A and B are shown apart, each in its own frame.
Chain A
Amino acid sequence: DQQVKQNSPSLSVQEGRISILNCDYTNSMFDYFLWYKKYPAEGPTFLISISSIKDKNEDGRFTVFLNKSAKHLSLHIVPSQPGDSAVYFCAAIWGNEKLTFGTGTRLTIIP
């Protein structure tokens, strides 16, 4: 049972444009959400997070939006840069501090 879903396995975006990565979840108990970025053969690096009491969190070029009623979150990257090309994982957590990850979306920024 995949409780966190990233339905787009890949996404291509022109450099300078906005990248929007989506994530859906099914467990209404999740109360904290995170985005990680992963390059090949490296560990994921933490990007940005959001608590369920908020609907938006912004950090530089990265903004995460949370729609609790739709059980949906998204990561916006603007402007997109070539170094943003990577696999992005969303993750959710509640209570016992175990992260549940989505399957990832491979973002490719086209110069």
Chain B
Amino acid sequence: SQTIHQWPATLVQPVGSPLSLECTVEGTSNPNLYWYRQAAGRGLQLLFYSVGIGQISSEVPQNLSASRPQDRQFILSSKKLLLSDSGFYLCAWNSGGAHLTQYFGPGTRLTVL
């Protein structure tokens, strides 16, 4: 069966520090991968998605970037965190094609101080 992992679960970082959040999927090949942020009153906002290694699409301009160095690994990064980057970050995957349902990881709570 497929599982999706995210780490760390929680993170507290000072403003201006770098960020690296990792997401990995097990039990599937060539998944579509997604990064979301949950913000109060705004639901789940799609940040990035990837349909393959090295292929990243950005949905909103922001202080963050994403990379996909391996088939089942998706990384969310920042060179310098802002206070506004605080939030709950979720990684999701689906099989693509006719499989439209996305499955989410447990999330990372990021607090920027």
The majority secondary structure among interface residues of chain B is strand
Contact with B along A86-111 (1 / 0, CB 8 A): 00010101000111011110000000
Residues of A within 8 A of B90 (CB): 43-44
B60 contacts chain A at the CB level, 8 A cutoff: no
Q: A42-B107, A43-B90, A97-B100 are in contact. Are A103 and B46 (CB under 8 A)?
A: no
Instruction: Tell me the bound Cα distance from A77 to B9 in angstroms.
Output: 31
Instruction: Tell me the bound Cα distance from A46 to B44 in angstroms.
Output: 14
Question: In A23-51, which residues have CB < 8 Å from any B CB?
Answer: 32, 34, 36, 41-46, 49
Query: In the bound complex, do residue A89 and residue B96 qualify as a contact, i.e. CB atoms below 8 Å apart?
Result: no
Residues of B within 8 A of A41 (CB): 88, 107, 109
Query: In the bound complex, do residue A43 and residue B107 qualify as a contact, i.e. CB atoms below 8 Å apart?
Result: yes
Instruction: Tell me the bound Cα distance from A87 to B77 in angstroms.
Output: 28
Contact with B along A41-65 (1 / 0, CB 8 A): 1111110010000000000000000
Query: In the bound complex, do residue B44 and residue A42 qualify as a contact, i.e. CB atoms below 8 Å apart?
Result: no
CB distance from B9 to the nearest CB of A (A): 8
B43 CB contact (under 8 Å) in A32, A34, A49, A104: A104
**Interface hub of A43, A46, A103, A104 (most chain B Cβ within 10 A):** A43
Query: In the bound complex, do residue A43 and residue B32 qualify as a contact, i.e. CB atoms below 8 Å apart?
Result: no
A32 CB contact (under 8 Å) in B49, B100, B106: B100
B104 contacts chain A at the CB level, 8 A cutoff: yes
Query: In the bound complex, do residue A49 and residue B106 qualify as a contact, i.e. CB atoms below 8 Å apart?
Result: no
Question: In B49-108, which residues have CB < 8 Å from any A CB?
Answer: 49, 59, 88, 90, 92, 94, 96, 100-107
CB distance from B19 to the nearest CB of A (A): 19
A-B contact pairs, 5 of them (CB 8 A): A41-B88, A43-B6, A44-B104, A101-B44, A103-B42
